[in-house]
Amino acid sequence: MERQPLRSVRRVIAKRMAVSWKRIPHVTHEDEADITDLERYRADRKEAIKEQGAALTLTPFILKAAVAALKAHPRFNASLDIESEEIVYKQYYHIGVAVDTERGLLVPVVRDVDRKSLTELALELFELAERTRNGEVDRKEMAGATFTVTNVGSLGGTGFTPIINHPQAAILGMARSVWRPVVQGVPPKHKVVPRLMLPLALGFDHRLADGADAARFMNTIISYLHSADNLMMHL
């Protein structure tokens, strides 16, 4: 048997996760989005972003779809003030993006996502992730998020139950997107086609929202991810 002290980032993560789990009644709503068309759109534009020194991943699209859903369903961009018994609605959209580092999972914040273009987000995310992995972000850059996005897709897995970052109201998790056969239409007038499907998991505070609210929130995100044209119009 070996004992090691809980130090630095791991200690902070342990304390914050314990507080979140203790204070927030978590519920997870799961669904999946058809991102076939969106992936084609991303692939067509990734070289242009690469020439600017960054990578166009799925995350900027997710951030934009999340903001659209947060605007349509503001209780997911809020927090609960227990002492005053009030819901605090945030009028800004600062989204935390979880980054896997050697020191543990860190969550730097992309501020004012609604005011930034897809290219701006791609460049900022790339730079922010690099600095986070290199230990170059400070505490101010990891504070003030109103919503969080986390992605384990690069590591695999079909789904998970993300823990909300207290005092936020929700967190969106993404697992690995996979190609699989999908039935389109109603038998006998139907066809089976290959589609790229992205598993999504929304962890939300049941004090602020109900299951029906979560389903509507997720449906909004899915609708934007399903249609690249709709998402680009929102951008």
**Residue numbers annotated as active site:** 206
Q: How far is CA 7 from CA 10, 76, 97, 136, 171, in A?
A: 6, 32, 23, 18, 26
Label residue 10 exposed, middle or buried (CB < 10 Å: 0-12, 13-18, 19+): middle
Q: How many C-beta atoms surround the C-beta of residue 230 within 10 A?
A: 14
DSSP string, 130-159: HHHHTT---GGGGS--SEEEEE-GGG--S-
Is residue 210 within 8 Å of 170, Cβ to Cβ? no
